[in-house]
Amino acid sequence: MSLRLGDIAPDFTAETTQGTINFHEWIGDSWALLFSHPADFTPVCTTELGKTALLKGEFEKKGVKVIAVSVDDLDSHNKWVPDIEEVNGVKVNFPIIADADRNVATLYDMIHPNASEKATVRSVFIIGPDKKVKLTLTYPASTGRNFQELLRVIDSLQLTANYQVATPADWKDGEDVIITPAVKTEDAAAKFPKGFTIIKPYLRTTPQPNK
């Protein structure tokens, strides 16, 4: 059965390019981004892991740890890393899980039903400090991920976890947000002292409360 939003992310122990980890312990009090790759030495994956390394500082600013997984073994990962670094001009500064037994791929339902039983799809899981799944995305093996979108989604998830707001289409950090229907209009002024605009009775916007 596929993981659903709000489910506890399955825990596991695995070998990585940065040593053995217990996943929940590794997350600690942080957020986590777990993303899978069909195989080592594949072209799209090489660009994605390089982009992740380049953006690691941006994820860290948001309190997010990043970790990749591929169903190849640790020796293969270690041989692949120099290619990633050469192609992208960056050091691979995050762990890559070795999942030769497909334990992690199976726990997270990453095996593509219409492809090789070895190949994982490009899955993304964003996991909160409470170890619950906050977002899932699945791309076909042919399509590289948009990492700016992942950063944007994290901004939204972290904001809406702490305030009674939602984010509209194409929202970016710093823009107005939507007050959730759970907040009555008569209570909105106290909850949102920056003020709010009633566009429709069910659509009320306010400046981002944590800016």
Residue 80 corresponds to which tokens in the numbers above?
């692949």
DSSP 174: T
- Predicted pLDDT at 61: 97
Whole-Å CA distances, 197 to 13, 27, 60, 188, 205: 49, 39, 34, 10, 5
- Predicted pLDDT at 37: 86
45 given a catalytic annotation: yes
For 160, list phi and psi in degrees, rounded to 5: -75, -15
- Predicted pLDDT at 201: 94
Catalytic residue among 45, 105, 110, 119: 45
Q: Point out the residues of the chain with pLDDT beneath 50.
A: none
Asked whether the beta carbons of 180 and 166 are under 8 A apart, the reply is yes
- Predicted pLDDT at 109: 87
- Predicted pLDDT at 12: 98
Collect all residues with Cβ–Cβ distance below 8 Å to 108 and sequence separation of at least 6: 3, 9, 10, 34, 36, 123, 125
- Predicted pLDDT at 139: 87
- Predicted pLDDT at 142: 82
- Predicted pLDDT at 112: 67
- Predicted pLDDT at 34: 97
Q: Give the integer Cα–Cα distance in Å for 157 and 180.
A: 14
For 158, list phi and psi in degrees, rounded to 5: -70, -35
Q: Which domains, from first to last, does the chain contain?
A: 13-145 (3.40.30.10), 163-206 (3.30.1020.10)
- DSSP H or E run through 133: strand 133-139
